Structure 1
Amino acid sequence: MKRFRFTLTAICLVLLWLGWTDVSLFLRNRTPQSVSVADLIQNGPPREWLHVTGGYQNLLEGISTSGTLELEAFLIPLRLSPGAQPIDILVETRDPHIIQLLQDYYFKFDSTAEQQAYQEAHAGDFLGRRDITGMLVGGLVASGNKDKLLKLAQEEGLDISENIIFLSEGKEPARIRGFFFLGLGLLGLLKVGSMWRNTGKDAAPETENPL
């Protein structure tokens, strides 16, 4: 029984930690912080939820992170100027418009000339300026994903900065999950406390009758 209570206490503490992590992240990021690509590269991220302006993308440098023929997400460099090296910002995007553009470019046409014509017809999308709203890739689980993305980019021959910044486009801070975890953790600790109190009452020796 004691082992169960210790296990339950540990689970509750983990829930409290996860809940506070989410809640504090949400409180720091009520709205996305607007920052230019130049400031982001020079000074680093001011917050976790960002609206990055003034960047240039090249979709042809995009790397599929799906690992299959089903294109679901791409890792795309975001530069201060076209062709700038090394790459300081990588954006993981699931934007349906970008996914469709790249699907058409790679699978719809039978010749390089057709691909080139398609690229020129959508030059503003393939090689234009683009503002990005998303969150920094961080945290325990996300750090492992970040390492995989970095390795993938390096394997594709991209010139990556030592201080590379990863953004997940479209991702927002969790608004409810943290409060739910906090509540669940607190209720669990109250339950554990009541179990310890009941155990103490059951273990207390009975008072002998003086008569």
Structure 2
Amino acid sequence: MRRFRFTVAVICLVLLYLGGNDLLFWGCNQQPVTVRVEALATAPPPQEWLVLEGGYLDLLEAISTSGTIEVEAFLVPYRQFAGDDYRVMVETRDPAIVDTLTTYHFKLDSAREQADYRQQHPGAFELHRPVTGTVIGGLIRNNNKQRLQRLTKEFGVEVPDEVVFISEGKEPPFWRGFFFFCVGLLGMGKVVLWKRKTKVGVNGSGDLPGSSDQGAA
């Protein structure tokens, strides 16, 4: 029973930690802040929830997040103008973008077919539009950096040393954080009640002092 209570307590503490982080993230990002792409070339993002504008998505230099035909997302450079040294990459799951890039990279067998596809879809590989999303950090950011470093090493692809990764469509997870925090808090309360009941049960199970002597008399 003691081991079970310990396991439940650990799980609840993890939920409190995750929920607290989500709520803190939401508290610091009440509304998205509009920032131009050139501003991120010289300064860090003003906050995590952003509306990025002043550039375009360069689909011709997009990178698959899986490397297989079963693709859920792409990392796409967000450039200010053609040929510039980009510093922002957008992780997008936009179905239209995923479909275009999946067809272009995995379903066309030759460079000629790819060139014909680009001519048949003018403007499909340069999307001039703002992007709303949150800055990616932690393990996901590290994995993306390792993927870019591997491309640089294996294929000679030129990528910037420091990249700001933005996950398109993501918002501060208030309800997830609220749920995790409440469940963790209720769970910790339950663990405390179990501990108190156990102590009361142990103390109440013993005989009162002198009770055996009175019974013998």
Common fold by TM > 0.5:
yes
Work out the CA distance in 2 between the residues paired with 1:28 and 1:68. Answer: 37
Q: 1:131 maps to what in 2?
A: 130
Q: 1:151 maps to what in 2?
A: 149
RMSD: 2.5
Deviations 1:86-131 (A, max 9, x none): x311111111221232244346666645533432454433135332
Q: 1:25 maps to what in 2?
A: 25
Q: 2:169 maps to what in 1?
A: 170
Aligned length: 209
Amino acid at match of 2:38: A
**Structure having the higher Rg:** 2
Structure with greater strand percent? 1
Work out the CA distance in 1 between the residues paired with 2:109 and 2:8. Answer: 60
Query: What displacement does 1:58 show?
Result: 2.2
Q: 1:64 maps to what in 2?
A: 64
Query: Helix, strand or coil: the match of 2:38?
Result: helix
Asked if the contact 1:63–1:153 (Cα under 8 Å) also holds between the matched residues in 2, the reply is no
Query: Helix, strand or coil: the match of 2:50?
Result: strand
Work out the CA distance in 1 between the residues paired with 2:155 and 2:172. Answer: 31
Deviations 1:46-96 (A, max 9, x none): 1111110012332111122232223432211112321112x3111111112
Q: 1:208 maps to what in 2?
A: 209
Amino acid at match of 1:95: D
Q: Kindly, what percent of the aligned residue pairs are identical?
A: 44
Q: Cα distance 1:14–1:108, how it changes in 2: closer, same or farther (>3 A)? A: closer
Query: What displacement does 1:206 show?
Result: 4.5
Q: 2:2 maps to what in 1?
A: 2
